[in-house]
Amino acid sequence: MKKLFILFLLLPILVSGQDLTIKSGSSITIGKTSYITVPGNFSNSGTVTLNSDSDEFSSIIVSGTATGNIIYNRYVNQVGAGEWDLIGSPVSGLTINSFITETSNASSIARNGSLYAVGSYDNISDTWTNATIATTGSLNLGQGYQMATTSGGTLAFTGTVATGNQTITIQNNDAANLGTGRRWNLVANPFPSYIKGNIAADATHNFLKVNADAGIINGGDYLAAYGWKADGSGYVAYNYITGSTGDSTPLLIAPGQGFFVAANSTSPQALIFTPQMRTTAGGDDFINGAPILLYYNFDLKLFHGNSEKAETKYFFQEGLTLGLDPGYDAGAFDQLTPLSSRLPEADTGVNFQINAMSLE
């Protein structure tokens, strides 16, 4: 991505030491391939707009305090069978009502009568609830939502830049309420920048490792971020061995990107997103670091006619085993998927979407 240099901009945009101040009447537009980093404090009384498209997302990272609203024009996939998108707010303080009634959003968000294509997920009952004009509350930072636009395009998220630790409560409700509950929790990157997701992106400060080490997300069979493929074939698992641009690449989670994680505990726990996870580097979102070790792999797909119904992946890499390798093996999001695999040794009874083994 390109770094946006701000020194050429005319006053009243002020750069003082490590701080950035945008005075009233001035504006900055950050292109979809650009970013701003502010080592100090960020103060905005003007207009700061960040842009994106289907596979490119701008970023802003503030190390100090942040005041004043920004506008993040975040790409959201179109409505349709098997399409939609999983999205969270990349800004703080945005109410659901103001989001769906904002002038440009009101004509872009898909609707069915009074229902808007902005829906929350309840893993106790495994149900979705879409918003109406009367819906109260805010788009909570760190929470994911199902969203869709009429034909694929950006929606404006207006609010402040999150700078410190952000948390969202998750819980394993699998088998609760007569078996209708799920372990899956829909969460989202709360920052208007990419975050590092796996150990290839950062050996220590990555989303999966931090939350697995803390016992917040499942650190065994389901240690992965599960992204929606938007092609009718379900979800894909991103873990230590699968990244944003292919196998054994860094997992970089786009601003406002939503995804599912498996909660570790049947009691509520705080999933965490830390400032150390933030990065300006990135690329595509889910709908489209460490050294890479020698590996072999193949994908096995199941089709009905020309329609892909399921996929399972096999990886062979030095240092892995025939049993469970947390962060490398990944259980299928849908355990009733028509195509999956099982561990060759110490079978845990879980159907796997990714099965990782040694080279032998």
Q: How many CB atoms lie within 10 A of CB 23?
A: 13
* pTM of the model as a whole: 0.89
- The pLDDT, as a whole number, for residue 8 is 36
Task: Give the pLDDT confidence score for residue 5 in this predicted structure.
Answer: 43
Burial level of 142, CB count in 10 A (0-12/13-18/19+)? buried
Distances (CA, A) of 185 to 70, 125, 147, 292: 28, 12, 16, 30
Q: In tens digits, what is the pLDDT along the chain, a chain of 360 residues?
A: 655 544 334 445 565 669 999 999 999 999 999 999 999 999 999 999 999 999 999 999 999 999 999 999 999 999 988 899 999 999 999 999 999 999 999 999 999 999 999 999 999 999 999 999 999 999 999 999 999 999 999 999 999 999 999 999 999 999 777 778 999 999 999 999 999 999 999 999 999 999 999 999 999 999 999 999 888 778 999 999 998 888 889 999 999 999 999 999 999 999 999 999 999 877 666 665 333 456 788 889 888 888 888 889 988 887 888 999 899 999 999 998 999 999 999 998 999 999 998 887
How far apart are the C-alpha atoms of 305 and 145, rounded to whole Å?
32
User: Which residues lie closer than 8 Å to 158 by C-beta, 6 or more apart?
Assistant: 69, 70, 71, 72, 91, 94, 98, 102
In order of 38, 46, 69, the CA distances from 99 in angstroms are 27, 20, 14
- Answer yes or no: are the C-beta atoms of 80 and 101 closer than 8 Å: no
What's the chain's length in residues?
Answer: 360
Residue 160 token pair: 């402040």
Cα–Cα separations (whole angstroms), residue 265 to 216, 229, 332, 334: 7, 27, 19, 19
Predicted local confidence at residue 284, as pLDDT: 60
Looking at 95-197, list the stretches that DSSP marks H as alpha helix, in order from N- to C-terminal side.
Answer: 96-101, 103-106, 176-179
